[in-house]
Every structure is written in structure tokens, then in C-alpha cells.
Amino acid sequence: MGRVENRGASPRFRGGPPDSNRLTRRALPNEEVVEITRAQRGTSFDPKVVDAFVKVRKDLEVIQREYVGN
């Protein structure tokens, strides 16, 4: 795992967020994004960030439905 100052404040995915549509792929369902994030906890993603993300994910989904309409 990288040094503390190299850790992102949010889970980051190459190619953009997997829960948004791109020209080359369809968006993944939220549940699948959470599974990927949990699976990469401690390798690709800082464990503390993943824990915080999972803790507030239901709130994030409410915001997503309100503003994006999913």
C-alpha cells in the first residue's frame, strides 16, 4: 500500500467510475461496484476509505437517484 499522502480520499477506478456509462462499456450496477471495491480493499484501495465508502453507500445511492435518476 502507498504512503498516506499518496492515498486518495475516495475509491478511484481507471477509466472513470464504473457506475457511469462510457462509450466503451455500460455502467455497472451499484452492488457490483461495491463488490469490486471490497475485493480490492487493501490492494487497490485504502482500507479506511473503503470502510467509509461502504458505511455511507446507502446515502450515496439516495443522492444518486435524486440527481442522476437511477
Q: All 3 cell numbers of residue 36? A: 469490486
| Closest among 50, 55, 52, 46 to 38, alpha carbons compared | 50
Q: What is the DSSP letter of 67?
A: H
For residue 10, name the pLDDT band (cuts at 50, 70, 90): low
Lowest mean pLDDT among 16-25, 28-37, 55-64: 16-25
pLDDT digit string, tens, across residues 54-69 = 999 899 889 888 887 6
Structure confidence at residue 29 as a pLDDT band (50, 70, 90)? confident
Task: Give the CA-trace dihedral at 15, 8, 50, 3, to 10 degrees.
Answer: 120
pLDDT given at position 3: 47
Q: What Cα–Cα distance (Å) separates residue 39 from each residue in 22, 32, 43, 70?
A: 23, 10, 9, 24
